[in-house]
Structure 1
């Protein structure tokens, strides 16, 4: 291994390996301390309940007992008694309502981050099915980073187990949509719109792509401005402030993408079209106005045809109601039909009714996001990478391609991280110290049912999913 690739010499790698070993020991110690702390706080809550038992005004007695205990513990934890009281309540809920999660955490199968996600999502699950949710959630968390991918999977699991349909609850929630202003300091305010998720995601996607169009136009604007200055001999003619302040010139524009998004957002709301458009010409409107928001949705065939009202998956975000998914599918002239494995849920084939970039569509449907361990960047904002480099003879075929975001694409090519792709889109990553991370092609979260503990591959349960359809909104 050459010393120029990533971490330097083999001695550097050995030093890093020693640090990793120390980190593993530290993680074990921290986990044991966290588990003990939660159990101590839960015991404090039980003590308060026992002290209040039999009192004539039980609720008030329990509250007073809990306050007294929290005040006592506050000195030990160097926190306020209010904070300790809240933590006691959370610990009691965790210990009493999620015993299997506590056991898995204590055994090192899951982390504190997983526990938080299970508890946060589980609060919406009715008590009669919470045990079923907890068992499935633990299995889903094992071996995964506690990121949005895991949370999304648990949210879909909770939706499936809820006695009220997602469509019914979404309809009720959508009635509360609104726009409000929250005043901030220094003459700034937050404009907050509470919208259906698919609409909000479409808005952000459109703003992002319009902002990138503006940023990509900067080199030409700077070149035009430089040429104009040279022709007149007037070095003051290309003042950046005037270029940004008005007109169609974007020379000297140094705004960040967040700033450009905010400016385009205001333009669209106030003027109906971007007031500043570096792509505009004498022939009519520029390209910014033609950009439309895109989202990727996976919906089961039964939901699409109206045979059930199960929630669809807004890739990278959260569930959406069946009616919205059907409307998105109906409004599109083309959509992908995904054939998935009946046990593992792996995307096996993608039928495109219009023969356009079939391989890219299949990879986007299979990967859904960056395939580096723990990354959640949506596939539509990633680059397609040859797992085995094309320059080294790697074929341009779905069995050798995967989506990587720019950051992790660079990591793969410029550090000692290595990856190989196995059947079904399974990526096996090896870190510079030799640690191995398995990154499965994520099955669509939309499912007819969930096979808990029935279908296993390499000892890890997989989701049983239906054939699904993805409209490219």
Structure 2
């Protein structure tokens, strides 16, 4: 919990704030100039691609004419851009695709409604959208991009593009899942990469479990070090005992001695991964004792999935949302729901999709479930750290009388929790989980509670669901 009060003079004087305001104004001018230069560059590269096609049209060797013309022009421009002709050729293709296939996006970029980052996301996610509906995709995508950072809007655009694809996500996932495999790619110095191609929800669960087991091992280091020190003192009493222990350790897996363990979390994840596959249960478990298995074997992967009731009942095959990652197919979501007793039923706003209530109320635990479902990620402008890795913060500090209620709570990652507590950033929370942030220079940022990416109700007459209408201005 944090407070906005008690900011020390070292954070920044009024003169510092004035200097920062000038820097912000300069940054705005630089951003406008950079945008104009980027747009000009894209149009120049697109024109180079058209020139290559015109040159190829006058050549009788149709098979290689366009490729050779494009390579020649790319090589010419590569010297100006100080890069390789291969890179320039790829950028020419991307620029021409953008100019010719995304005209609405180009107009919005030129008008300053979106940034270069938004353009890349629209182009990347829109590649699966059929040409006949791409204009509608662009319109909705641009509206969703306005006021949001590119990384925050990517998941929504992926789902939007999926709904417009001629084949359902479930059909494509079924075909892709048939290619799941495990393969070894040899590397240098006696190392190899073990690569598993798996459904996304399985892969995320594997990484989550490995990460939490690795953290358990790191947290157990102080006790292991203390036990190792005690064993060392006892060993001085007899050399024969020490010799026997050394022989036993000679056959133990690499890194199995926890006393003085200095492995990084990546190294521990790799060791536990190999241990689980080879032994079936973690042998490197510092919490184990002689009476049975330790705590690591009981740890299970956790993923947060949002799925509509229509999908669960089989009335549609719309993809579910693996929060913070990517869509998952309907069949996997149904299986998760059938095997899991911890699913929460969410009541959402019929227009905005904002989560309003959970199906049960239990002090503290219910609030946490509701906040996790409502916020989805850190609520500082532009941050996308998943809520399950954030801290719950009192918007109005509890020490100053702020209530412990969902209307005064929101998720903040550690970085932005510290920013709120130790800088001149200010925040207030309005109805519906709306946060209004004010920067040290007085700039206001509106942070709406994100609507669910999953469509909880079917669209009328097959119409494409657009972004929710904005609520009335809070200030």
Distance of 2:417 and 2:233 partners within structure 1? 40
Per the TM alignment, residue 4 of structure 1 is displaced from its structure 2 partner at its CA by 2.1
- Specify the SS of the correspondent of 1:250: coil
1:181 paired residue number: 184
Moved over 4 A (4+): 226-234, 242-249, 353-356
Closer, same or farther in 2 for the Cα pair 1:78/1:49, shift >3 Å?
Answer: same
Select 1:405's aligned residue among 408, 413, 417: 413
Answering whether residue 113 of structure 2 is matched by residue 109 of structure 1, we say yes
Q: Count residues in correspondence.
A: 455
1:440 counterpart residue number: 448
Relative to structure 2, which stretch is displaced further, 372-381 or 309-318? 372-381
Q: Is the 8 A contact 1:315 1:368 kept in 2?
A: yes
Q: What does 1:130-279 align with in structure 2 at a 5 Å threshold?
A: 130-147=134-151, 149-228=152-231, 250-279=258-287
Residue 387 of structure 1, CA deviation: 1.1
Is the CA contact 1:334–1:354 (under 8 Å) kept in the aligned structure 2? no
**How far, CA to CA, are the matches of 1:230 and 1:419 in structure 2?**
56
Alpha-carbon distance in 1 for matches of 2:172, 2:465: 25
Q: Does 1:451 align with 2:465?
A: yes
Cα distance in 1 for residues equivalent to 2:190 and 2:10: 46
Q: In structure 2, what is the Cα distance between the partners aligned to 1:45 and 1:419?
A: 49
Q: Secondary structure at the match of 1:438?
A: strand
Please state whether the residue corresponding to 1:123 is helix, strand or coil: helix
Matches within 5 A, 1:275-314: 275-314=283-322
Q: Determine the C-alpha separation between the residues in 2 that align with 1:451 and 1:266.
A: 45
Cα distance in 1 for residues equivalent to 2:430 and 2:363: 27
Q: 1:426 aligns with which of 423, 434, 455?
A: 434
1:95 aligns with 2:99: yes
Instruction: Give the Å deviation of 1:429.
Output: 1.8
Please give the alpha-carbon distance, in whole angstroms, between the structure 1 residues aligned to 2:218 and 2:228.
16
Question: What is the CA deviation profile of residues 193-227 of structure 1, one whole-angstrom value per residue up to 9, with x for unaligned ones?
Answer: 11000100111111111111111112222333345
Residue of structure 1 equivalent to 2:353: 345
Cα deviation for residue 165 of structure 1 reads 0.6
Distance 2:148 2:470 in 1: 16
Using structure 2 for the length normalisation, give the TM-score: 0.89
Q: CA deviation at 1:51?
A: 2.9
Deviates more, 1:59-68 or 1:363-372: 59-68
**Residue 378 (structure 1) aligned with residue 386 (structure 2):** yes
TM-score, normalisation: structure 1: 0.89
| Residue pair 2:144, 2:467 contacting (<8 A) in 1 also | no
For residue 21 of structure 1, the aligned residue among 20, 25, 36 is: 25
Q: Structure 2 CA distance, aligned partners of 1:341 and 1:74?
A: 53
Higher relative CO (Cα under 8 Å, sequence separation at least 6) belongs to: 2
Alignment match, 1:462: none
The 8 Å contact of residues 378 and 385 in structure 2, kept in 1 or not, is answered as yes
The structure 1 residue matched to 2:36, chosen from 32, 35, 46, is 32
| Cα 1:400/1:5, change in 2 over 3 Å | farther
1:361 is the counterpart of 2:374: no
**More divergent stretch after superposition (398-407 vs 63-72):** 63-72
The alpha-carbon deviation at position 6 of structure 1 amounts to 6.4
CA distance in 1, matches of 2:121, 2:255: 49
Question: For 2:201 and 2:311, how far apart are their aligned partners in 1?
Answer: 17
Note the C-alpha offset of 1:186: 2.9
Larger CA deviation: 415-424 vs 293-302: 415-424
**Alpha-carbon separation, structure 2, partners of 1:349 and 1:26:** 44
Match of 1:463 in 2: none
- Gap regions ≥5 residues in structure 2: none
Note if contact 1:3-1:10 (Cα within 8 Å) is conserved in structure 2.
no
Whether the 8 Å contact between 1:334 and 1:352 is mirrored in structure 2 is no
Q: Does the Cα contact within 8 Å between 1:388 and 1:394 map onto a contact in 2?
A: yes
Cα distance in 2 between the residues matched to 1:396 and 1:2: 21
Matches of 1:22 and 1:222, distance apart in 2: 54
1:8 maps to which of 6, 12, 15 = 12
Shift of 1:57: 3.8
CA contact (8 A) 1:71 1:80 kept: yes
Report the more deviating stretch, 94-103 or 80-89. 80-89
The alignment partner of 2:307 has SS state of strand
SS in 1 for 2:393: strand
Compute the displacement of 1:20 (Å). 1.8
- The aligned counterpart of 2:55 is 51
Q: Deviations over 1:101-126 (max 9, x none)?
A: 11111121111111111111111111
Question: Following the alignment from structure 2 to structure 1, what is the Cα–Cα distance between the partners of residues 468 and 220?
Answer: 54
Find the aligned partners of 2:468 and 2:383 in 1 and give their Cα distance: 28
Mark the CA change 1:227 to 1:436 in structure 2 (over 3 Å): closer, same or farther.
Answer: farther
Instruction: Mark the CA change 1:228 to 1:125 in structure 2 (over 3 Å): closer, same or farther.
Output: same
